[in-house]
Structure 1
């Protein structure tokens, strides 16, 4: 069973796959792919498909190649399922980037089975119970910000490339000069670069609106600095 909810910005296109088999009253789930947006739906479907009489669930996550903050919801789903059904849930095999993310938020990544009727992560202390966990949470927030900035950069790239093409055609400049014009105009006008690029691209279309006057002034100044 595979996830149909791939993230819009995913580059890897490595869908989550969960293979399930039963050994007595244990369910063995082998997880492969990425725990990202949509992963909870796939995990929820796998749990819902388990036959009655299961008293323990073991997840082999060695095949999980990537984990983001939305994928952490899968652990909450495991806790909830274990508590509601009185099923002991354990995971093993965390490694690579997923293991580092779990460590950043203060979760235990050891393979030691836990006792009791709740999921494997249910008896962990609060994630911010220590200075180390707080520091890791702050680092995770920084990672989230960097990911958001990278996604915005990827989204903005096409319109920025189009704007560079417009500037190159209008002023006979090189690609590097066009980039410097955009960057300097952004600094002088205090307008984000992708918004400047969108205004330039829109103005180049038939009947397109010209950029606002403050932006035109910033562009003229930047052109004068970078185009002989």
Structure 2
């Protein structure tokens, strides 16, 4: 923000310019054990992740008789992660091979639990053994069975997921303006939210509005908190 942050280096205005490569971009490793394929996704299940998986699956050897995914390297997922699972499930049905996606941890595991899927293997419909039939839609079936007590938490989660694009955009703006990496920009955003007592999506929207001159200047408490956070995390 122009009124609180130190001026950016010459030639690097606080504006929308291509930001450094995203460190969370999804990659999928592959190892063959005889006729079994072990895939190891790393990064985030966000927009485009299903296409990355489809491309990897299309390149598996024709002799592949089983596909297992170790999801322990996935750090974040939004609703695109459900599409990722749909692609995997559809591939298994089309090729008549068993598929699994296990090893979920952290935020992705919490997402699966909140939508009612089994985090030990979300490809298995809740309360059933084996793989789903073509007519089964595990996500819809799980949502119908979700306990009412979880609805409020699930709604907060949906709001958080919906805000993710703005947070990522604000992080990219900070990286471009101040020459920091993705992790540092994330820490600046979180600390600004904490110091100012303002929700993270609101901080992200304020940074975007200020950088693109599409809205009013943020409140003074937000500008002060951002200045403090920038001073702490930038040389």
User: Under TM normalisation by the shorter chain, which class is it?
Assistant: 0.5 to 0.7
**Cα deviation 1:176-228 (Å, max 9, x = unaligned):** 3998xxxxxxxxxxxxxxxxxxxxxxxxxxxxxxxxxxxxxxxxxxxxxxxxx
TM-score computed with the length of structure 1 as normaliser: 0.57
Task: Find the structure with the greater CA-based Rg.
Answer: 1
* Runs of 5+ unmatched residues, structure 1: 1-7, 168-174, 180-228
- Structure 1 counterpart SS, 2:142: coil
**Cα deviation 1:17-36 (Å, max 9, x = unaligned):** 10111111111101111111
TM-score computed with the length of structure 2 as normaliser: 0.56
| Residues 52 and 141 of structure 1, relative CA distance in 2, 3 Å threshold | same
Matches within 5 A, 1:141-180: 141-149=155-163, 151=166, 153=202, 154-160=204-210, 176=220
| Counterpart position of 1:83 | 93
The structural deviation recorded for 1:141 is 3.4
Which of structures 1 and 2 has the larger relative contact order (alpha carbons within 8 angstroms, sep 6+)? 2
**1:88/1:115 contact within 8 Å kept:** no
The number of residue pairs the alignment matches comes to 161
Matches within 5 A, 1:58-207: 58-110=68-120, 115=130, 126-132=141-147, 135-136=149-150, 139-149=153-163, 151=166, 153=202, 154-160=204-210, 176=220
Q: In the alignment, is residue 16 of structure 1 matched against residue 26 of structure 2?
A: yes
* Runs of 5+ unmatched residues, structure 2: 1-17, 167-200, 224-235
**2:79/2:161 contact within 8 Å kept:** no
The structural deviation recorded for 1:139 is 3.2
